[in-house]
Amino acid sequence: MGRDEKQQPHGPAGKAALGAGWSHRHRDVSGGWLRPTVFGAVDGLVTNASLISGLGGGGVSAHTVVLTGVASLVAGAFSMGTGEFISVTNQNELVGAEVSLEQQMLTQFPAAEEEELAGYFRDYGADPQTAARMAAAVSRDPDIALQIHSRQELGVNPQELPSPLLAGVSSLFAFSAGAVVPLLPYLFGASSLALTLALTAVALAGGGMVVGRLTGRPVVWSGLRQLAFGALAIAVTYLVGHLIGSGA
């Protein structure tokens, strides 16, 4: 039964629950897009805002800020995209190797693996007889047996691994979108560090609030938390740039 085809409850209690707005449907959390997108956007935003802040603290020219900021955007975007693609690919390959090992164990030692399944069901509260019947029923379908073993022993579903391409592309474009925000005043000829910091603050708080909305967390708290961490990085970089620039 698919994720969007949840069986509806029956009986008086089930009808009452449905009438009250009960739903067992969930958002898809297996695609692997949210983490690289959020991480990429925040990384691009904080990295370039901090870099521009450091350059501004050092008193460099607007042309240098634009050149450095654009170079950081391009380099960082491809670095993030490549890193996400490779890391997710390597993780999936590791999972694949372990799942293959589990498949080999199921083929060579079916009785032992079935008893292991019964042990899982006993741990969930089934009595020994029920656990044995459940394990026997599951073991008749090798694919389902493999899924349950993988979930119990590896904590993954081998059929729902994240996409390396999706993670890489999401990270690349998200980093680019985040990194371009602090550059906007300079790209349009307004060489104002204050305007850059204001845009960055709005983007950090707004982005945090959007993520809070997606994850069900308090939106104001999520926005302020992201703003606070970003502001700390920007302030430290500005101070470093100012100290080095003053000593030049």
Domain annotation covers residue 94: yes
Domain annotation covers residue 27: no
Domain encompassing residue 214: 35-247
Q: What is the pLDDT of residues 106-125, one digit of tens each?
A: 999 999 999 999 999 999 99
Report the pLDDT value the prediction gives residue 10, as an integer from 0 to 100.
58
Average pLDDT over residues 140-157: 88
Report the pLDDT value the prediction gives residue 4, as an integer from 0 to 100.
44
Q: What is the pLDDT of residues 1-32, one digit of tens each?
A: 444 445 555 566 555 555 555 555 555 555 45
Domain annotation covers residue 25: no
Cα separation of 165 and 116, whole Å?
36
Cα separation of 203 and 209, whole Å?
10
Domain annotation covers residue 80: yes
Domain annotation covers residue 44: yes
Other Cβ atoms closer than 10 A to 41:
25
- Which range among 30-39, 62-71, 114-123, 134-143 shows the weakest confidence by mean pLDDT? 30-39
User: How many domains is the chain built from?
Assistant: 1
Long-range CB contacts (within 8 A, 24+) of 132-141:
139/110, 139/113, 139/114
Domain annotation covers residue 30: no
pTM of the prediction?
0.76
Report the pLDDT value the prediction gives residue 196, as an integer from 0 to 100.
93
Q: What is the pLDDT of residues 68-90, one digit of tens each?
A: 999 999 999 999 999 999 999 99
